[in-house]
A and B are shown apart, each in its own frame.
Chain A
Amino acid sequence: MDIVDILLSASFWAAAIRIASPLIFAALGELICERAGVLNLGIEGIMVVGAFAGWMTVYSGGGLWAGVGVAMLAGMLFGLLHAVLTVPFGLSQHVVGLGITMLATALTYFSYRLALPEVTSPPKIEAFQPLPVPVLSDIPVLGPAVFSQTPLTYLAFGLVIAVSVILYRTPLGLALRAAGENPAAVAAQGLSVGAIRIGAVMAGSGLMALGGAFLTMSAFNSFFFEMVNGRGWICIALVVFGSWRPGKTLIGAILFAAFDALQVRVQQTPLGADLPYQIFLMMPYLLSILALVVMSRRAQVPAALMVPFNKGER
């Protein structure tokens, strides 16, 4: 099987889209935070929280969608903590974000140990199953690749459209973008910059947690340590790659996921026998860095990203 065959196979694209799904949720969440002017480096930890909260809800007898809801709530809670420290108190967004990541990750692992002290291999749950879309899933290649995914994947794609519409077609989105471009303009119009930013960070963190929950509830069906494995950091890069636009960020997520799916498959070709497998593992990251360098040259950074706003400051 050579690379062309791989690129034409439905299973390859199905895998790429599956791998992209958690990245889409979390990157959208990060995008919302950054568009309002707050860099949320808590993303990695909030994904861990979401993964655990969703999985634990289902494991202890809750429904799948209840798990999704609990995961989002847990994410929003950490988002609130992040927002309170960075928005009204105006603390360093780097320090707070990394702190949230460490806190959230450690608390999650601690809770896991408390909840399941005796367990050595993590238990599985009944996760979301693929839900082929009638008619559309019968299209050759495209059908099995795109329209035979789990409901959460459809939700991820739907959210890209929803976030685009909200950002560019509603007064709320306008105010949110303005808070990230020039908070003084928002305040001068009698709106509360603080409320907009806190709301955006909470909503964004909810989406990050949902990205984490996808891993346990729609991909691996169980929770284990280190499972988020840097996906949060990748999402930060994807937002830059996407120039802070939902559509472009989606393309970035699919591209990264495709490289990831590709490297696994290339390892099984004759080429894979000759080269150390680490080279293949590196590939998606190397190509992401390259793509990022090329794309970010013309990126439109929100002008007030990481700039705290204090009303009435002299």
Chain B
Amino acid sequence: MAGTAHKAPVVLRLDRITKTFGALTANDAISFDLREGEVIALLGENGAGKTTLMNILFGQYTADSGSVAVFGKTLPPGNPRAALTAGVGMVHQHFTLADNMTVLENIVLGTQPLWKAGFNRAGARQRILELVGAYGLSVDPDALVGSLTVGERQRVEILKALYRDARILILDEPTAVLTPQETDDLFATLRKAVALGLSVIFISHKLHEVMAVSDRVVVLRHGRLVAETETAATDKYTLAELMVGARIDPPAVQAAPVGRVLIELENVSTPDRGAAPGLKSVHLKIRGGQIVGLAGVSGNGQAALFDVLGGLITPARGVLRRDGAVPGRWSPRAAVAGGIARIPEDRHKTGTIPDFNLTENAVLELYGQPPFSRRGWLNRGAARAFARRIIDAYDVRCPGPETRIRLLSGGNMQKLILGRVLETVPDVILANQPVRGLDIGALTYVHEQLLAARGRGAGVLLISEDLDEIMALSDVIHVISEGRLSPGFERGSKTTAELGVWLAGHGFGEGDSDAA
């Protein structure tokens, strides 16, 4: 892709874009150019201002000052329609698709005058199929979006932009939700697009992808443009330092003695829950001093596994053993009382009650026992002291224990949850996507805490969509696909590509997974 890009004409120019949200300066006088047939990677941590900048470019936010010019013409601020017409197409991180409508309907939405009688379905389908062929974006125009996989939905988003004759594609964290194979497909599509003369801005914080796909890299940190460089002239380590502003070493994983089996699932199945598959004859052992990594694309049964271990659902078939014995009654209360810590996937929906304050959220799992309540009366003082202890020990940045937790950043919310469960010294920790959406500082902190728990002999189940995270931390890796669990792979015994095959659903035997 590199090479001729430099002589090509400028298609997009950002000129001194500044945007503040209250006291926070999200973008501070950012300028750069995009040339025809070029891929620019916009690199930065969460909160560095990448998404804000792209939303300004696309007219969803209005900049405080500065301007955006496409093909030499300045766009009116705050007008997505103008950006679309000028040829800018955006693929958002959170897809803007309507699940109950077909692919075709989602694509043609807004492309025809509203007051026209009737729309040309056959013509639209023809055009979509042409684009599907030209860019290698296979998807059925008549399928309901709700029935598509995440990778297919992303293709619909790209098709939406191409259908509107976009000449500039902006992809916001496009690989966050994809399997390695889907990521490769996406990159192939991007190469085709660039070969056809499109220009691409690719937002990411994954360095190896930036190195693989971009011609130039623009690095943002705390709302400032800190570096702009040819990809060929730099390397991963330099970029990481630029992005973070300091060296951050990944937590060292030290060898830990492997203990006994703390919790075990034998041949466990659960019923499907709507579109989410249940577990299918799953075998899983979590030992002390181990991090068991569970890789898989979200929605493949991770939630069911998490809920079975956490006591929210009882297996329809198979047995769960805790310390070698089948517990009499398995419920969340029994699980928590028995030393199982849960870090749920969704901090806002299941991890916390957003409109409760930190104190109340800190004792959500413990309010029924002393010292937090006695004879049916809450002891607020004890709860507040507990919350203070967590705030100090886990570095939760907040105005105080009386703050509503809604007002905290994701990282601080997660630290409170982490403190809440670790303070009880659990011997099993279930962590479902514990670092999703966190910046690298908070992320490293969470990883360190999980490793520390492993070091003192706890067993950790780490569920994540990020294969790099799983591979860096896990002693044993399982892959989950459509409710089936792969056998456990020892650290270092499988490459990314080999795990990718399992992620895509291959390698599982039909019926019972007897491989465990």
Q: Please list the residues of chain A having a beta carbon within 8 angstroms of any beta carbon in chain B.
A: 169-172, 174-175, 177-178, 181-182, 184-191, 300, 302-303, 311-312, 314
Contact = CB atoms under 8 A, between A and B. Distances in A.
Contact of B109 (A169, A175, A300, A303): A175
A37 to B, nearest CB: 11
B246 interface: no
Given A169-B119, A181-B99, A300-B100, A186 B110 contact: yes
Contacts of A182: 96-99
15 contacts: A169-B119, A170-B117, A171-B119, A174-B105, A174-B108, A177-B101, A182-B97, A182-B98, A184-B92, A185-B96, A188-B60, A189-B109, A190-B79, A191-B109, A312-B61
B106 interface: yes
Contacts of B80: 187-190
Contact of A190 (B81, B98, B106, B112): B81
B115 interface: yes
Interface in B97-138: 97-101, 105-106, 108-119
Nearest to A184: B96
Given A171-B108, A311-B60, A177 B114 contact: no
Of A182, A188, A303, most buried by chain B (CB within 10 Å of CB) is A188
A185 B115 contact: no
A171 B113 contact: yes
Contacts of B109: 174-175, 178, 185-186, 189, 191
Contacts of B94: 184
A246 to B, nearest CB: 16
Given A178-B106, A188-B80, 13 more contacts: A170-B119, A171-B108, A172-B114, A177-B101, A178-B109, A181-B100, A182-B97, A184-B92, A187-B80, A188-B96, A189-B111, A190-B110, A191-B114
- Binding site secondary structure of chain B: loop
A312 B96 CA distance: 14
A185 B114 contact: no
Contacts of A171: 108, 110-114, 116, 119
Interface in B463-508: none
Contacts of B62: 312
A190 B105 CA distance: 16
B84 interface: yes
Contacts, number: 88
Contacts of A314: 21
Nearest to A196: B114
Give the most central of A185, A191, A303: most B CB within 10 Å. A185
Interface centre among A178, A190, A303, A311 (most CB of B within 10 A): A190
B59 to A, nearest CB: 8
A188 B92 contact: yes
B106 A185 contact: yes
Contacts of A175: 109-110, 114
B90 interface: yes
B84 A185 contact: no
Interface in B60-107: 60-62, 79-85, 90, 92, 94, 96-101, 105-106
B96 A170 contact: no
B404 to A, nearest CB: 17
The 5 closest A-B pairs by CB, nearest first: A189-B110, A190-B81, A181-B98, A171-B112, A188-B96
A278 B378 CA distance: 51
A163 B428 CA distance: 57
B115 A172 contact: yes
A189 B106 CA distance: 10
A181 B98 CA distance: 5
B173 to A, nearest CB: 16
A189 B96 CA distance: 9
B61 A181 contact: no
Contacts of B21: 314
B99 A188 contact: no
A182 B98 CA distance: 5
Contacts of A185: 96-98, 106, 109
Nearest to B115: A172
A271 to B, nearest CB: 45
B169 to A, nearest CB: 14
Nearest to A187: B80
Contacts of A303: 98-100
B101 to A, nearest CB: 6
Interface in B386-418: none
A53 B21 CA distance: 49
Nearest to B146: A303
A178 B107 CA distance: 11
B119 A302 contact: no
Contacts of A172: 114-116
A302 B100 CA distance: 8
A312 B60 contact: yes
A181 B119 contact: no
B84 to A, nearest CB: 5
Given A182-B97, A190-B110, A303-B98, A174 B119 contact: yes
Given A174-B119, A181-B100, A302-B100, A189 B61 contact: no
A203 to B, nearest CB: 13
A177 B109 CA distance: 10
A178 B108 CA distance: 11
Contacts of B82: 190
A248 to B, nearest CB: 15
A181 to B, nearest CB: 3
Contact of A187 (B60, B114, B118): B60
